Amino acid sequence: DVKVTQSSRYLVKRTGEKVFLECVQDMDHENMFWYRQDPGLGLRLIYFSYDVKMKEKGDIPEGYSVSREKKERFSLILESASTNQTSMYLCASSSVAGTDYQETQYFGPGTRLLVL
Amino acid sequence: DAKTTQPPSMDCAEGRAANLPCNHSTISGNEYVYWYRQIHSQGPQYIIHGLKNNETNEMASLIITEDRKSSTLILPHATLRDTAVYYCIVRVPLRTGANNLFFGTGTRLTVIP
């Protein structure tokens, strides 16, 4: 059973604070992703990583950074939290399987962040 | 520019089959169709995926039309725990082996006792 865990289910922070969201997967997956989910906007990709220390920007990277020092762990950092970063943050991981690249992403439970 | 189109909501009686349709008329020839669901306040849960043949697993069946422009997810015996938002997804490649998922607005399935 694939397990993706996120450090917090709910988080309340103040504007300007530095915020760390952590994600851990136990399936030795190469890929890890950070999305945010907002009503009416679906999921939007912030960053993803395809290997240790490797990262690529998604659709909305502004105001965020990421870190992947170990294969199982992918951190999302809000350098200076703002109210428009209030959202549900979802981490996912996946493995590239075989030659069909049937890449299936498995999600964590999500972190609901409120920035005041 | 919607990649998939789904009805916003559906009801299903407990114990009956739930059939959730999805249109994906712009899908490319080698792109898989994926289905996820999201129960309130939880992360999305993978259900099933397919390319052109019908697929079945312990959770659901997936029927894909021959022209691949639409598909139907079937939950054979819906239970109250199947109440969720169901997303039909066509992915956009990021790089080899990694894809960006576009969830859209999905179908809110309510299973009625």
- List the single residue in B with minimal CA-CA distance to A99: B97
B94 vs A contacts (CB less than 8 Å) = 45, 48, 56, 58
- Cβ atoms of B39 and B27 closer than 8 Å: no
Burial, A88: exposed, middle or buried (Cβ in 10 Å; 0-12, 13-18, 19+)? Answer: middle
pLDDT band of B3, cuts 50, 70, 90: confident
Q: Which residues of B touch A (CB under 8 A)?
A: 32, 34, 36, 41-46, 49, 91, 94-105
- Mean pLDDT along residues A84-95: 96
**Rounded to whole angstroms, how far apart are CA atoms B49 and B83?**
20
pLDDT band of A95, cuts 50, 70, 90: confident
Tokens of A32: 């890890």
B14-68 pLDDT tens trace: 999 999 999 998 888 778 899 999 998 899 999 999 988 899 999 999 999 999 9
A112 vs B contacts (CB less than 8 Å) = 41
| Sign of the Cα pseudo-torsion (A42, A36, A10, A49, in order) | positive
Q: What is the pLDDT of residue A93?
A: 95
Q: What is the pLDDT of residue A101?
A: 57
Restricting to A residues 11-50, those with a Cβ less than 8 Å away from any Cβ of B are 30-31, 33, 35, 37, 40, 42-43, 45, 48, 50
Tokens of B94: 């990021």
Q: Which string of DSSP letters, residue by residue, matches B21-78?
A: EEE-TT--TTPPEEEEEE-TTS--EEEEEESSS-EE-SS-EEEE-TTSSEEEEEETT-
Q: What is the pLDDT of residue A115?
A: 98
- Mean pLDDT along residues A53-67: 95
